[in-house]
Amino acid sequence: MLDKELTAFDNLRTGMLSRDEGKYALLYGDKLIEVFNSRLDAINHGYHELGNVAFLVKKIVREDPASSFFSGKEDDHADL
Protein backbone atom coordinates (compact mmCIF):
# COMPACT_ATOMS: atom_id res chain seq x y z
CA MET A 1 0.00 0.00 0.00
CA LEU A 2 1.30 3.46 -0.97
CA ASP A 3 4.23 1.98 -2.92
CA LYS A 4 3.46 4.19 -5.94
CA GLU A 5 3.20 7.28 -3.75
CA LEU A 6 6.46 6.56 -1.91
CA THR A 7 8.31 5.93 -5.18
CA ALA A 8 6.90 9.13 -6.69
CA PHE A 9 7.93 11.10 -3.60
CA ASP A 10 11.48 9.76 -3.82
CA ASN A 11 11.64 10.60 -7.53
CA LEU A 12 10.36 14.14 -6.94
CA ARG A 13 12.24 14.86 -3.70
CA THR A 14 15.20 16.76 -5.19
CA GLY A 15 12.98 19.18 -7.11
CA MET A 16 10.63 19.67 -4.17
CA LEU A 17 13.55 20.36 -1.81
CA SER A 18 14.69 23.33 -3.87
CA ARG A 19 11.23 24.91 -3.73
CA ASP A 20 9.35 23.52 -0.76
CA GLU A 21 11.69 22.10 1.90
CA GLY A 22 9.88 21.73 5.23
CA LYS A 23 6.42 21.75 3.64
CA TYR A 24 4.09 18.77 3.11
CA ALA A 25 3.49 16.96 -0.18
CA LEU A 26 0.16 15.32 -0.99
CA LEU A 27 0.53 12.42 -3.42
CA TYR A 28 -2.01 10.08 -4.94
CA GLY A 29 -0.77 7.26 -7.13
CA ASP A 30 2.32 8.52 -8.92
CA LYS A 31 1.12 12.14 -8.98
CA LEU A 32 2.00 15.09 -6.77
CA ILE A 33 -1.35 16.71 -6.08
CA GLU A 34 -0.19 19.81 -4.20
CA VAL A 35 2.25 21.09 -1.56
CA PHE A 36 1.01 22.58 1.72
CA ASN A 37 2.45 24.56 4.59
CA SER A 38 0.88 22.27 7.19
CA ARG A 39 0.32 18.54 7.48
CA LEU A 40 -3.29 19.08 8.57
CA ASP A 41 -4.05 21.22 5.50
CA ALA A 42 -2.64 18.49 3.25
CA ILE A 43 -4.68 15.77 4.96
CA ASN A 44 -7.88 17.82 4.85
CA HIS A 45 -7.37 18.60 1.17
CA GLY A 46 -6.73 14.93 0.44
CA TYR A 47 -9.98 13.82 2.05
CA HIS A 48 -11.94 16.67 0.48
CA GLU A 49 -10.60 16.23 -3.07
CA LEU A 50 -9.86 12.49 -3.18
CA GLY A 51 -12.31 11.02 -0.69
CA ASN A 52 -11.73 8.10 1.62
CA VAL A 53 -8.89 6.50 -0.35
CA ALA A 54 -5.26 5.83 0.44
CA PHE A 55 -3.07 8.87 -0.24
CA LEU A 56 0.28 10.00 1.09
CA VAL A 57 1.13 13.16 3.00
CA LYS A 58 4.86 13.41 3.64
CA LYS A 59 7.13 16.18 4.91
CA ILE A 60 9.66 17.34 2.34
CA VAL A 61 13.04 16.84 4.00
CA ARG A 62 16.48 15.79 2.76
CA GLU A 63 16.52 12.52 4.69
CA ASP A 64 13.62 10.60 6.18
CA PRO A 65 13.80 10.40 9.97
CA ALA A 66 14.33 6.94 11.43
CA SER A 67 11.04 5.30 12.31
CA SER A 68 10.55 3.32 15.48
CA PHE A 69 7.75 2.15 17.69
CA PHE A 70 7.73 1.33 21.37
CA SER A 71 4.62 -0.19 22.88
CA GLY A 72 5.55 0.73 26.42
CA LYS A 73 5.62 -2.87 27.63
CA GLU A 74 9.00 -4.17 28.73
CA ASP A 75 8.24 -7.85 28.13
CA ASP A 76 6.96 -7.54 24.53
CA HIS A 77 9.82 -9.61 23.13
CA ALA A 78 10.21 -12.13 25.94
CA ASP A 79 8.97 -14.98 23.72
CA LEU A 80 11.14 -14.11 20.69
Q: What is the dihedral of CA 42, 45, 47, 51, to 10 degrees?
A: -130
pLDDT tens digits, the chain, 80 residues: what are they? 899 999 999 999 999 999 999 999 999 999 999 999 999 999 999 999 999 999 999 999 999 888 766 656 555 555 55
This prediction's pTM = 0.81
Taking the chain, what is the end-to-end CA distance rounded to the nearest angstrom? 27
